[in-house]
Amino acid sequence: MKIIVITRPDFFEGETVLVNQKFEQGMQHLHLRKPKATKQEMAEWIERIALPFRHRIVVHDHHSLAKEYSLGGIHINSRNPELPAWFAEERLSRPITVSRSCHSLDEIKAYKQQCDYLFLSPIFDSISKEGYGAAFSREELAEARSQGILENNVYALGGICPENLQEVEQLGFSGAAMLGAAWR
């Protein structure tokens, strides 16, 4: 199963050292999500990541950094709902992905053809956001699986931890995105 790690929304001491270590230990993908960070703060953070790992980073904000630092992709969300004008041309010259956060099965259906992969959340009660409970019943997810909605690059998000990865796979997701459990 594919695992994507998402950064905490805040900066913390030693974070980039830890991220470099996680990449060295085999982490394949990291979503850099710092919604309140300035472009300069994000650029300084990226510059502390070893050059060979930068292509594994996807940015949620300040999408131009993906072009400036040859990052692996951009993530569309409510703060940044559109692809930047430069994206299509950049994609012709190198591999760069586009992903999106979804909070309903209808959104998954609507955006599946436009994105390389999607996050569906929250699947379980959140670890990092108190009071943010699961939004889908197991029956709804089983039906979505039987209809083929969850296959082909739909990742479970929300309350993901090592203990429930097997269930995520059984539910039919291509992988999982982990935030809270990754930084405990």
Give the global pTM. 0.94
Tell me which architecture the domain covering 2-183 has in CATH: Alpha-Beta Barrel (3.20)
- Dist CA 79 CA 77 (whole Å): 5
Peptide bond into 52 cis (omega under 30): no
For 13-51, what is each residue's pLDDT tens digit? 999 999 999 999 999 999 999 999 999 999 999 999 999
- Dist CA 6 CA 86 (whole Å): 25
